[in-house]
Structure 1
């Protein structure tokens, strides 16, 4: 019931508020398992992508978002209704747990969204992708749709608490699906790395970001 309310009532209202410019939505399949792999500029990304995709999209989110009080409690309820799954990021096994959860989502035939960079970019550059998305795609045997968000860092910069959507109009671009079978016959580690590098190449083409070529490291602001 809560998801229906969010989807039928809150979602259309948020689209009016954010006014996103969407390109390539036809590249996202209407049903069946699929991974959406996006660059990451702001917390708003996790709201914007499910907002523009006409099907339920599951994200992994920090457990802290679901555990607060007051406004934070409202945020947690919203994320839960939109299909976000809480995972403690401070635990050493959190990354493995997140991949297991994601695999279950995909095995059930649903859409799962992931940020290959691992965390938000504070300087606007695109960072090297981690191989978790390659592991997911090859183990679940699903294609990956590259996604580029634009302008969300202006709506809610790293460290800010409240988004200001009316001042900036964000954009979301969806690229053509990347078929996992092109990498399935490679040795596992090599296949994962090659697939992720291809995904990041496509995200860079869509976003036109400068490529850093190294992994992103979380600062205290990004961890907050």
Structure 2
């Protein structure tokens, strides 16, 4: 089977699950509201940079958009064994997520390459600049990897705010609570003034901070200038 045929099959499966199986059920139950849908381009590559409150963020954002959105997901979601592993892998494939190793180092470079490949195909790529889910509903410092992808791709960046998804499915829970969620989509941001400076760490931090600040304005979250992963590690060590 050629790569084009495989890609076509994947796209057909994604469309079927979104519009026939999973999508209609979830939309009727949770009735998500959305603001700023007109800010999503009808065609061409773009990065959707979102806050990250819950596991279900990567589910509801693609459901309300006409175009396919690919998210970079932990490779562990695709390698499980048995019935549970099969079901998890099927779910993540159906929601348009791509397996990546997020352990850092060369893995970070592989994530960048995967993201740039998606954008190079003229598609939408979903990214969480905070790097992990918020442990308490606040917004945390962004990782500069997203800025590097922004500058190397040269595509528009669209800030997104997920609202109340953490109340539907908080961290640590397995079953969602039925209530409405919201999605606010901001106007595209243009960082072309920094073209060619993706190797400058000060520029990367500036781009990241501007992007996170815009996301915070859309979401209304309190901001904490530390990494969410550091907070999680600290809490885990105290719980031992």
TM-score over 0.5 (shorter chain): yes
Which residue in 1 is equivalent to 2:59?
A: 47
Q: Secondary structure at the match of 1:59?
A: strand
Which residue in 1 is equivalent to 2:143?
A: 130
Which residue in 2 is equivalent to 1:13?
A: 25
5+ residue gaps, structure 1: none
5+ residue gaps, structure 2: 1-11
Provide the rounded CA distance (Å) in 1 between the counterparts of 2:111 and 2:75: 12
- Matched ranges for 1:101-112 at <5 A: 101-112=114-125
Point out the more displaced range, 85-94 or 203-212. 85-94
Deviation at 1:92, TM superposition (A): 4.3
Label 1:140 to 1:12 Cα distance change in 2 as closer, same or farther (>3 A): same
| 2:192 equivalent to 1:181 | yes
Provide the rounded CA distance (Å) in 2 between the counterparts of 1:159 and 1:92: 28
TM-score by length of 1: 0.90
User: Which structure would you say has the larger Rg?
Assistant: 2
Instruction: Assess if the C-alpha contact under 8 Å between 2:79 and 2:85 holds in 1.
Output: yes
Which residue in 2 is equivalent to 1:59?
A: 71
- CA deviation digits over 1:184-212, x for unaligned, max 9? 26573233222111111110100010000
| 2:126 equivalent to 1:117 | no
| 2:113 equivalent to 1:100 | yes
**Structure with the bigger percentage of helix:** 2
Q: Secondary structure at the match of 2:49?
A: strand
Label 1:100 to 1:123 Cα distance change in 2 as closer, same or farther (>3 A): same
RMSD: 2.0
Residue-pair matches, total: 220
Label 1:185 to 1:2 Cα distance change in 2 as closer, same or farther (>3 A): closer
